[in-house]
Amino acid sequence: MIDLSFFIFLSSGLFLGWSLGANDAANIFGTAVTSRMLRFRTAAILCALFVIIGAVISGAGASHGLGKLGAVNALAGSFTVALSAGLTVYTMTIWGLPVSTTQAVVGGIIGWNLFSDSPTDLASLSQIAGTWVASPILGALFAWLIYLGLNGLINLTKPHLLWLDHWTRLGLVLAGVFGAYSLGANNIGNVMGVFVSSSPLQEIQIGELFALSGPQRLFLWGGIAIGAGVFFSRPVMTTIGKGIVPIGPLGGWVVVVSQALVLFIFSSTSLQQFVTGLGLPPIPLVPVSSSQAVVGAVCGIALARGIKGLRQIRWWELGKIAVGWISTPISAALICYVLLFIVQNVFEQQVFIGPSGSNAGLVP
Amino acid sequence: MADFKFSPFRTTRIVQSEIQEFLDAVSMAVLAYQEGMIAYLKEGWLVAAEEKLQQISSYESRGDNLRTHIGLTLYTEMLLPDTAGDVLSLLSDLDHLLDRMRGHFILLGIEKPEFPIDCNEAIIDFISHACSAMEHTVAAARIYFRDPKAVHDQIHKIHYHQEEAEKFLIRLLKSIFTGNYALERKCHLRDHLVHIDRLADQADETGDAIAIYAVKRSI
């Protein structure tokens, strides 16, 4: 039987998952819902279902990558890291600053490392920071390639409007499902990654063939939290279509596929093995910002449209994202450090287990 | 037991052929209108003109039914709503052309205006330009469904024929109003010529709308 206190500590991660679902689901099914080809309810059910599947089946890769930065080894510490990330996202959103949950979580872990006097693996940190820059660039590259390919295919085959529309509708649903799966697989690391080392959950057997490992049970909870958040994403979904550059349903499909590919690349262990098998350097498996991949993809479409598209890009918005790469983790690290101090000294909770074990991290 | 066959593409195929049939109906109505007008100018309201009226009426009726069915299917079963709106506006504009042609031909049969014989040649050219504008509009609509970027190739032809039709209208009105006819006859003839010119104008407006729908289709 799991202690109730586990769920109390897990609540900050679940809240982070809920807010991630409420915000990022819009990137996946926003176009399908705003163009009224899918009812919000249908989109939300599909999105929640595949987020959970992605989190449980493929969530380990990105979550493990985040763990290399710092293995938060006490439940109260994990709670505080997730809470500080949530507070950072909330505060920066209120102030209108660009923010990513991924970057806030990384900042939180660094804050915990500083507080617990654990070393921060600079190689991992630079790898993770590199993915922040790479994800919008990759998003742009994928969108640019897919857009040009799709445009060429349409010009070549000249499909009837009705058939094009038919395939677009089907494509939006399939891309949404793929996007939801990738979001679950990649971003579950943000939500539950900091709890993996401290979680008391053990493997359970369901029936004869099916088993859920401890981390997978954790990811299932996180996935459910994200899935629950999806049902609150309606206001964000209805505004997503009116973004940086005007894009139609087909453009929306390109954005969703590009974003899903970026998230998939940074969370698929099979792909990583395939790449290393080719003698190439391994792809780092870490959570990346889906919103920034979307911004990159939209810019990729604008680039593919040539000068007219370039003029439509709000370059200032891109600059603000780059500023967020620095400001978000620093803010989260500071908030986390202060909160860890409070949790440890005011609430007398063990926020880390030191090298000697047992009582470390608690005020004597 | 009902024979149930699952075919997810069936509706798309049916609507595609209905749109094709609708555009054929408009195109054939334009031909019937042109031939009917020429027959009336040459022979007066005889069997040939009456036959053409029947033809135009049957095309108009078929067009109405098709448009209603296409509209219902598009909104209830398929098409992204924005595209469905554009397609229905396009079909509605073309249906309006059908209504106008039929309306004018019915009036022609009732009022039987007496066009001056020396104006016949100019009136035939005038009708020819108005009908060409409509035909190119139907062609633009067909292209819109397949290759929106090529729509522009038809639009300038529609503009050309509309402008030519307008020149003929002015020329004919000047000729009629400077001629030695009773004022009521002049006004009567003017009304019918303006009816023909409105067809060209409507075709031109529909062409402009198609150009906008085509731009909206770019991804």
* Interface residue B7 vs chain A (CB under 8 A): no
Q: ipTM of this predicted complex?
A: 0.78
Question: Which residues of B fall within a CB distance of 8 Å from A247?
Answer: 219
* Interface residue A129 vs chain B (CB under 8 A): no
Q: What is the model's pLDDT at position B79?
A: 61
Confidence of residue A208 (pLDDT cuts 50, 70, 90): confident
The CA-based dihedral angle spanning residues A79, A284, A104, A77, taken in that order and rounded to the nearest 10 degrees = 20
- Burial (CB count within 10 angstroms: exposed 0-12, middle 13-18, buried 19+), residue B182: exposed
- Structure tokens of B68? 């209603």
- Burial (CB count within 10 angstroms: exposed 0-12, middle 13-18, buried 19+), residue B109: middle
Average pLDDT for residues B213-217, to the nearest whole number?
86
Q: What is the pLDDT of residues A35-87, one digit of tens each?
A: 777 788 999 999 999 999 999 998 888 888 888 888 888 889 999 999 999 88
Cα A231 to chain centroid distance, Å, stands at 17
Question: Of A36, A150, A158, which has the smallest distance from its Cβ to B219's Cβ?
Answer: A150
- Structure tokens of A126? 């630079």
Q: Which of A143-157, A174-188, A313-327, B41-55 has the lowest mean pLDDT?
A: A313-327
Q: State whether the Cα torsion A255-A258-A264-A270 is positive or negative.
A: positive
Q: What is the model's pLDDT at position A244?
A: 52
Q: What is the model's pLDDT at position A33?
A: 80
CA distance B187 to chain A (A): 46
Question: Which residues of A fall within a CB distance of 8 Å from B149?
Answer: 155
Instruction: Check A248 against B144: CB less than 8 A apart.
Output: no
Has residue B35 got a pLDDT over 90?
yes
Nearest CA in chain A to B146: A160
- Domain segments of chain B: what residues? 10-216
- Structure tokens of A24? 């990022």
* Nearest of A297, A218, A172 to residue A56 by alpha carbon: A218
Residue by residue, DSSP assigns A212-263 as E-HHHHHHHHHHHHHHHHHTT-HHHHHHHTSSSS---HHHHHHHHHHHHHHH
Beta-strand relationship, A204-206 and A210-212: antiparallel
Q: What is the model's pLDDT at position B83?
A: 78
Instruction: Check A248 against B78: CB less than 8 A apart.
Output: no
CA–CA dist A357, B190 (Å, integer)? 103
Q: What is the model's pLDDT at position A324?
A: 79
Confidence of residue A359 (pLDDT cuts 50, 70, 90): very low
How much of chain B is in helix, strand and coil states, percent to nearest 5?
A: 85, 0, 15
Rounded to 5 degrees, what are φ and ψ at A243?
A: -90, -140
H or E element at residue A205:
strand A204-206
Nearest CA in chain A to B144: A161
Q: Which of A145-159, A162-176, A235-249, A317-331 has the lowest mean pLDDT?
A: A235-249
Q: Is A272 helix (H, G, I), strand (E, B) or coil?
A: helix
* Nearest of A88, A11, A150 to residue A333 by alpha carbon: A88
Q: What is the pLDDT of residues A138-189, one digit of tens each?
A: 999 999 999 999 999 998 998 888 888 888 888 888 999 999 999 999 999 8
Question: Which residues of B fall within a CB distance of 8 Å from A35?
Answer: 80-82
Has residue A103 got a pLDDT over 60?
yes
- Structure tokens of B93? 């504009």
CA distance A255 to chain B (A): 12
- Burial (CB count within 10 angstroms: exposed 0-12, middle 13-18, buried 19+), residue A320: middle
Q: Taking the CA of residue B123 as centre, how many other CA atoms within 13 Å lie in the half-sphere pointing to its CB?
A: 27
Instruction: Check B79 against A150: CB less than 8 A apart.
Output: no
Confidence of residue B12 (pLDDT cuts 50, 70, 90): confident
Q: What is the mean pLDDT of chain B?
A: 90
Q: What is the model's pLDDT at position A70?
A: 80
Q: What is the model's pLDDT at position A242?
A: 52
Q: What is the model's pLDDT at position A4?
A: 76
- Structure tokens of B10? 């069936």
Average pLDDT for residues A133-137, to the nearest whole number?
91
CA–CA dist B90, B68 (Å, integer)? 13
Q: What is the mean pLDDT of chain A?
A: 85
Confidence of residue B141 (pLDDT cuts 50, 70, 90): very high
Which one is predicted more confidently, A238 or A67? A67
Average pLDDT for residues A196-222, to the nearest whole number?
85
CA distance A35 to chain B (A): 6
Instruction: Check B78 against A166: CB less than 8 A apart.
Output: yes
Confidence of residue A243 (pLDDT cuts 50, 70, 90): low
- Burial (CB count within 10 angstroms: exposed 0-12, middle 13-18, buried 19+), residue A239: exposed
* Cβ-Cβ contacts under 8 Å for B201 (sequence gap 6 or more): B162
- Domain segments of chain A: what residues? 4-345
Average pLDDT for residues B156-168, to the nearest whole number?
96
Question: Of A155, A249, A254, which has the smallest distance from its Cβ to B80's Cβ?
Answer: A249
Instruction: Check B81 against A254: CB less than 8 A apart.
Output: no
* Interface residue B194 vs chain A (CB under 8 A): no
CA distance B67 to chain A (A): 15
CA distance A269 to chain B (A): 34
Confidence of residue A94 (pLDDT cuts 50, 70, 90): confident
Confidence of residue B1 (pLDDT cuts 50, 70, 90): very low
Residue by residue, DSSP assigns B123-179 as HHHHHHHHHHHHHHHHHHHHHHHH-GGGGHHHHHHHHHHHHHHHHHHHHHHHHHHHS
Q: Which of A28-42, A239-253, A278-292 has the lowest mean pLDDT?
A: A239-253
Contact at 8 Å (CB) between A117 and A356? no
What Å distances lie between residue B173 and A80, B38, B40, B113, B179, CA to CA? 87, 19, 19, 14, 10
Q: What is the pLDDT of residues B94-128, one digit of tens each?
A: 999 999 999 999 999 999 999 998 899 999 999 99
* Nearest of A125, A138, A107 to residue A335 by alpha carbon: A107
Task: Give the domain B10-216 fold.
Answer: Methane Monooxygenase Hydroxylase; Chain G, domain 1 (1.20.58)
Share of chain A above pLDDT 90, in %: 31
Q: What is the model's pLDDT at position A34?
A: 74
What Å distances lie between residue A114 and A96, A195, A364, B129, B197, CA to CA? 28, 18, 20, 83, 82
Average pLDDT for residues A102-119, to the nearest whole number?
91
Question: Of B12, B81, B217, which has the smallest distance from its Cβ to A166's Cβ?
Answer: B12
Q: What is the model's pLDDT at position A246?
A: 62
Helices (H), chain A: 4-34, 40-58, 60-67, 75-94, 101-115, 122-157, 161-192, 214-230, 234-240, 249-265, 269-277, 290-304, 307-312, 315-345
Instruction: Check B146 against A158: CB less than 8 A apart.
Output: yes
Which one is predicted more confidently, A207 or A344? A344
Question: Of B12, B144, B218, which has the smallest distance from its Cβ to A163's Cβ?
Answer: B12
Confidence of residue A124 (pLDDT cuts 50, 70, 90): confident
Average pLDDT for residues A112-131, to the nearest whole number?
89
Contact at 8 Å (CB) between A14 and A173? no
Q: What is the model's pLDDT at position B6?
A: 46
Confidence of residue B3 (pLDDT cuts 50, 70, 90): very low
Q: What is the model's pLDDT at position B80?
A: 65
- Structure tokens of A309? 């598209």
Q: What is the model's pLDDT at position A89?
A: 84
* Nearest of A64, A76, A84 to residue A16 by alpha carbon: A84
Question: Of A35, A37, A162, which has the smallest distance from its Cβ to B12's Cβ?
Answer: A162
Q: What is the model's pLDDT at position B78?
A: 64
- Structure tokens of A169? 């509708």
Average pLDDT for residues B29-46, to the nearest whole number?
94
CB atoms within 10 A of CB B11: 16
CA distance B16 to chain A (A): 7
Whole-model pTM over 0.90: no
CA distance A161 to chain B (A): 5
Confidence of residue B133 (pLDDT cuts 50, 70, 90): very high
Q: What is the pLDDT of residues A274-288, one digit of tens each?
A: 998 988 888 888 888
Q: Is A204 helix (H, G, I), strand (E, B) or coil?
A: strand
Share of chain B above pLDDT 70, in %: 93
Residue type (1 letter), A96: G
Nearest CA in chain B to A251: B219
Question: Of A37, A160, A169, which has the smallest distance from its Cβ to B146's Cβ?
Answer: A160
